Amino acid sequence: KAVRSQGIGREMFLWAIERARQRGCHLIQLTTDKARPDALRFYEKLGFVASHEGMKLHFDS
């Protein structure tokens, strides 16, 4: 938490996105939890758009 809002994560993602472009990638896909609105906003600001709906099945231990 000490380094949040300093732009470090953004710079890391921008570097990775540019590197992917340079290497000929056509898609970057990531997964995050709907319960993390800050993360969703972060990715949207980088140009990501919601495209899938996920499903889970949890088993009791």
CA dist., res. 10 & res. 12, Å (int): 5
Helix crossing, 8-22 with 37-45: angle to 10°?
50
Mean pLDDT of all residues in 15-39: 95
Rg (CA), the chain: 15
Q: Token digits for 17?
A: 């996105």
37 contacts 45 by C-beta, under 8 angstroms: no
pLDDT at 61 over 90: no
How much of the chain exceeds pLDDT 90, in percent? 75
pTM of the model: 0.77
Query: Tokens 């990775």 appear where?
Result: 16
